Structure 1
Amino acid sequence: MDVKELKGLDEAALKKELNDLHQALFKLRLQKATQQLHNTNQIRNTRHDIARIKTILAQKAAK
């Protein structure tokens, strides 16, 4: 997702998206371990998305 889209979401939606990304990351790691993952860059992108959401949540909490 784009940062502008994420900033427009409320805290509950961000937490749901964060949970979904954690589950997706787990599945990607399992696929990598079993050598079923062909595009390993997906793991990196998912980790970056998680970091973006955590940053936005921290910014909203600081306000």
Structure 2
Amino acid sequence: MTQAEVAALPAVVDLGVANRAFGLGRSTGYRRVKAGTYPCPVIHLPGGGYRVASAEI
């Protein structure tokens, strides 16, 4: 993603969008979340989803 695309993101995005912004593939992103090595804090939702604050990207 370009800086302009990242700047235009909503306040909170799903993990797929964050992965794209960091240049991570889907499997690598989820693996890094579970290992605690994702490049920024990740919010784990009760239903099993993940969200990332765009300010952290």
Q: Same fold (TM over 0.5)?
A: no
Per the normalisation by structure 1, the TM-score is 0.28
Pair member with larger Rg: 1
Q: Larger strand proportion, structure 1 or 2? A: 2
